[in-house]
Amino acid sequence: MELEVKRDPEQPHHCTLGKMFVDGIVACETLEDVVREVEGATVANWKIQGDTAIPRGRYRIVVNHSNRFKRDLPQLLNVPGFEGIRIHPGNTEADTSGCILVGTTRSGAAIQNSRVAFNELFEDIKEALANGEQVWITIA
């Protein structure tokens, strides 16, 4: 299974909005922290702890237990300079510390119906993993 987040280039807010595609089909809206990535610079040179979107790239996704959320959630592996990056419900930048939030619609600097969007996406991810597929996400 291939997920892709296409970030919107114009960001008038203190967050990063985008769209998530599942195997090439639009699945939901996304919200992340501000993109601060500087091409060619190490993460330590541009990351603001708890307030920075992850670097562009392709990451494997697994499902495991989150101690913070006290439940199983999708986790992105081997994100340079970041740990514990997950996909989870949430509506605004206050709900993320580098993670990817998903929702069905957006309004200004927020996304709505995050639990609905997350539950649908999570079921698809769990089904793919149960069928022996690897799940990958590309952040563009």
* C-beta of residue 100 within 8 angstroms of C-beta of residue 87: yes
- pLDDT over 90 (residue 4): yes
Q: Are 121 and 102 in contact (CB under 8 A)?
A: yes
Q: Which of 98, 114, 118, 94 is nearest to 106 (CA)?
A: 114
CA distance 76 to 94: 20
Helix or strand or coil: residue 122?
helix
pLDDT at residue 23, rounded to an integer: 97
Report pTM.
0.95
Residue in the structure block whose two tokens are 């090439």: 24
Residues 87-129 pLDDT 10s: 999 999 999 999 999 999 999 899 999 999 999 999 999 999 9
**Residue 32's beta-bridge partner residues?**
16
Residue 14, pLDDT above cutoff 70: yes
Residue 12's pLDDT band (boundaries 50, 70, 90)?
A: low
- pLDDT, one tens digit per residue, over 24-49 is 999 999 999 999 999 999 999 999 99
pLDDT of residue 13: 72
Sequence ranges of the domains in the chain: 2-139
Give 9's pLDDT tier (boundaries 50, 70, 90): confident
